[in-house]
Structure 1
């Protein structure tokens, strides 16, 4: 009886120690806020997978994924409302030009998913045919890929106030192609992973559409990347964790890349993780209004953007210096950038610490 009592007491004590240890371990998780560039959807599948699989927690991080809609994540990160964010290269570099100290730390999508979509019945075959047409573009800096493509073919737009007789009429619309296509514009901006499928859902099958991929015409302005502020990178004791902001950044990138690699390799499972997060924003349009259908399309397409360039060489998350320089050159030619960004706009050290690989600058 005494032996049993002692054994029971020992087990109870061990359970208390275990509970205390687990509690202490939970308390050691460092809270991190990651600002996404849109509403929850498969565009961010790797992050949702990293969360669902516990990859963030394995790195000691308690990550909150913040949606933002059609606003720029730059401001929330710059003001400290979020610690890290995802955005497009043009957003980041124009912010740097304005004196906002945001820093690129990992490149997720290695190929642009931006397109302009027209009906095949329009007779448009190439960008040179866009003269005299109406082009639907997005606001807040998201119009730059269209502007770059048009300029390459000697076309001017009504977005340029210095041009009195623009060859293309730009129609700004708030991201929903059904608002303008095809009655109010001849071509409409569409991401391969989102609006193209929405347009199909509106009753225009792919075989009836002419899709102009900007990257096919040398306009490969990089999109989804991870960034933070210089303030976070310079933090010697991030949120009292005893770790620097740079160490936290490396942990976040490492877990995120693990999530992305898993998501791309296990797309059906990844879509399930996304559906838990995205609610009504999961749905497409019209006949494609199924949440699972639209997110499955989206996952398939974002996987193509991730599985390109450096990723195919085992360097996921790496910003190819040659592609970066080409992006800078293009943005300067458009007058969007006035000069080369400072070296601090990109920090390869975080990616190196996250992956254990060496950047080839």
Structure 2
């Protein structure tokens, strides 16, 4: 009996220690850029497989609401967020002290889709006189950059009296405008391209123009925060600085993304479908929920497994890619000056990975 008493006492102490450890987890809110879907698979995996917890973090993944991730993080309602690099740099120029921490997607998935019957073969030559569906709230910047790179004015520019291109803003569901109201429509490789196919316009009926192939490789999903969060000396009373918490978040997130990309089928089945709910299927997609998310996961993996990731530097923003984005945005007048040095902080990523940004080749 004495032996079992000792065993039970040890078990009770272990259970109590586990409970205390869970109570001591640091609560972190991560604002996602869109509704739950495979676009955020790595974060779902990091949460459900305990990678965040192993770093001492209790992470709540917040789906998109009426506000942009930058607004939510700036307000303090979230500590970190995901967004696109153009949106982050424009916000920075407008005085919002957001900071780029880690680059998840290493290639842009932004496309313009047109019916083959429209005769659009070369964007710069054939866009004039066309109507183009674009997204609001900073998601239009890649299309704007393309228009300006091609020397075309658009209705997005209030100074253009007779614009070459009519931009039609639409709320992300291509069926609302394509092909009845616009000849070309914005579409991500991993989402709307499949939705458009589901509307009856598959690869045999459309041309998909990837903006990255047109020299508009404005990188998308990244992790960011504000200078205020990074400068916290005692993040939410945890005893850790904001920079230390950022490093832990990055470390667990990259672990989740690596696992998700290597185990796509299991990721979709166990970690995406339970999260995505009504957004699983995608409006108009040609497949059921599982089919659409499987498509999306495969396309997302291509954006993750590119650039720096292929060199073993997942999450790293290559300086050349950053400078290319800045130059493109400046050349097109979307930015009026170079962003300050504080717009990108490699420190948390370096702490998370053990690598030094200066060693990247």
Mapping for residues 144-163 of structure 1, pairs under 5 Å: 144-163=141-160
Report if aligned partners of 1:102, 1:229 keep a CA contact under 8 Å in 2.
yes
Deviations 1:152-191 (A, max 9, x none): 1211101111111111111111110000000100000000
Cα distance in 2 between the residues matched to 1:129 and 1:217: 14
Q: 1:18 aligns with which of 14, 29, 34?
A: 14
Partner of 2:190: 193
Q: 1:265 aligns with which of 258, 262, 267?
A: 262
Q: 1:62 aligns with which of 58, 73, 76?
A: 58
Q: 2:172 aligns with which of 165, 175, 186?
A: 175
Where in structure 1 do 4 or more consecutive aligned residues deviate above 2 Å? 284-287
Partner of 1:39: 35
TM-score, scaled to structure 1: 0.97
| Max Rg structure | 1
User: Does 1:216 find its partner at 2:202?
Assistant: no
Cα distance in 1 between the residues matched to 2:284 and 2:134: 22
How far the C-alpha of 1:69 sits from its partner, in A, is 4.2
Report if aligned partners of 1:30, 1:60 keep a CA contact under 8 Å in 2.
yes
Partner of 1:308: 306
How far the C-alpha of 1:12 sits from its partner, in A, is 2.5
Partner of 1:356: 354
Report if aligned partners of 1:332, 1:338 keep a CA contact under 8 Å in 2.
yes
Cα distance in 2 between the residues matched to 1:353 and 1:287: 41
Report if aligned partners of 1:38, 1:70 keep a CA contact under 8 Å in 2.
no
Q: 2:324 aligns with which of 311, 323, 326?
A: 326
Q: Quote the RMSD (CA, aligned, Å).
A: 1.1
Partner of 1:125: 121
Cα distance in 1 between the residues matched to 2:122 and 2:72: 39
TM-score, scaled to structure 2: 0.97
Structure 1 residue runs of 5 or longer lacking an equivalent are: none
Deviations 1:12-55 (A, max 9, x none): 22122112111111112111100000000000000001111110
Cα distance in 2 between the residues matched to 1:337 and 1:297: 34
How far the C-alpha of 1:105 sits from its partner, in A, is 0.3
- Number of residues paired by the alignment? 357
Partner of 1:81: 77
| Range with greater deviation from structure 2 (80-89 or 67-76) | 67-76
3-state DSSP of counterpart to 1:205: coil
How far the C-alpha of 1:284 sits from its partner, in A, is 2.5
Structure 2 residue runs of 5 or longer lacking an equivalent are: none
